[in-house]
Structures are given as structure tokens and as C-alpha cells.
Amino acid sequence: MIATIALRELRSLFLSPLAWTILAVLTFILAYVFLVQIQVFVDYQGRLAGLDSSPGVTEVVAAPLFEFAAVLMLLVAPLLTHRSIAGERRAGTLTLLQAAPVTAAEIVLGKFLALIGFFAVLTLIVASMPLSLAAGTGLDWRHLAACVLTLLLLLAAFSAIGLFISALVEEPLIAAVMTFGALLLLKILDWASSAGAAEGSGALFRYVSMSGHYQPMLGGRFSSADALYFVIGTALFLALAAWRLDSDRLQR
């Protein structure tokens, strides 16, 4: 049943003009950033070569590209998740879905897998840009793989948070705004620790903030603890979304 829901959601996504518009606009913007970073690498290649541990094309081109893509996802994720549950609730189709022999967890997981499928296509587009340089220069394959995995983990967490918020409200637009606010807050929470917050709360803010977990991995310092942060966060918000749908079903 999960696969059926996922395929239905994924087909609905790719049949909508919004998904194709997002892919087209993001590809154009990221391609421009990619070309700018290549020019930066070419301009400073002579100076970089003189350094003891000079950064290569992966560090100068690929890593900044993935980091810029991660920032753009703050805007894209709410656009894709806001209708997942709130839209169905508003249209009245959620009641029909809940009346079917399917659990709330299966509904949430099906919608989550559809979002991951779309984001996997987007990640593949981003990864294909630095991969195009492999024929003419040496890539740090481990670093590039870390960037790809980090972006997928980040997008999985974004999707789970968006699904949970979409399950909380009835208006898709409100869900989109709330999701963007939540994701932005999670990104900038570490600012509080650097702005003179108390030592205990500062450490908490640094840990909860997503920036402190995905930026080191994009820089090539992949950590299982940072990866576990995203896995646990994703599982937590998916469980909360399923719990919210179960509450709706019990109230009826």
C-alpha cells in the first residue's frame, strides 16, 4: 500500500506544472552558480597550486554548489510539501483516504517516499554538474559522494518536517509559510550561540541547528553522528505526522 500511495503522489507531482517549473528554475540557477565556481577555480588555480594542501575542483566547485542548493531547498521544500496533507484535507479527499484499509503510517510513508523520489531527481541534476568535469580533471569521489548523501539527508529531514506541518493545518498556504519558518529557524539557531547566549543554551542551539551538521559534511568531514542527527529528526517528524493523522481518524 505504501508503494501505491508513493507512486500516486509521485505521478501527481510530475503531472503538475509546479514540479517541472521548480526543476527548470533550479537547474538554471544552479547551472549559473556552477559556471561561476568554475571561473573562480580557473582564476585562482595558479595561486592554489602553490599551497601545501591546495583545494581541488571538488572543494572549490562541487561543495559550494551543493551548499547553495541546500539553501535553495529552504524555499523549494515548502512548495512541494504544503499540499501533501493539508491540500487533501481541504479538498475532502483525506477523509476518503483515511476510510480506506490503510494506516496513518502508510499514508505518511507513501507521501514521504514520493517527495524523496522527486528530490532524488533534483539531487541527480545537481550531481551531474560536477560529474561533467570528471573527463578533464580529477574529482575527490569520496567528498562528492559525501555531498550527495548530505543533500539527500537534508532533503529527507525537510520533507518530514513539511509533512508534519502539513498534517497540522487545513490551509496549504499556511503550511508552506510555517514550513519555511521552521526550516529557516532550524538553519539559523546556531546564531544564538555565537551572539552571547548562555553556555548551556548555546550548546543546545548549536546541536539542534541543521547548519552545524550539514555544513561540515559538505566540507568533506562526513560524520556518522551528524548523519544520525538527520535520520533521527526525519523519523521523529514522520512519527509525529502519523500521530496527527491518527488523531484525526479517532476524532471522527
Q: What is the pLDDT of residues 197-234, one digit of tens each?
A: 555 566 777 788 888 888 888 888 888 888 999 999 99
> Which range has the worst mean pLDDT, 6-10, 176-180, 219-223, 233-237?
219-223
Residues 104-152: tens digit of each pLDDT:
888 899 999 999 999 999 999 999 999 998 877 778 889 999 999 999 9
Angle at 216 between CA 212 and CA 220, to 5 degrees: 170
What is the percentage of the chain residues whose pLDDT exceeds 90? 44
pLDDT for res 136 = 74
With residue 138 as reference, give the H or E element that holds it: none
Instruction: pLDDT band for 251, please (50, 70, 90 cuts).
Output: low
Q: Rounded to an integer, what distance in angstroms lies between the CA atom of residue 53 and that of residue 245?
A: 53
pLDDT band for 42, please (50, 70, 90 cuts).
confident
Cα(249)–Cα(103) distance, integer angstroms: 10
Backbone Cα Rg of the chain:
20
CA distance 56 to 137: 9
As a three-state string, the secondary structure of 37-73 is: HHHHHHHHHHHHHCCCCCCCHHHHHHHHHHHHHHHHH
CA distance 14 to 1: 20
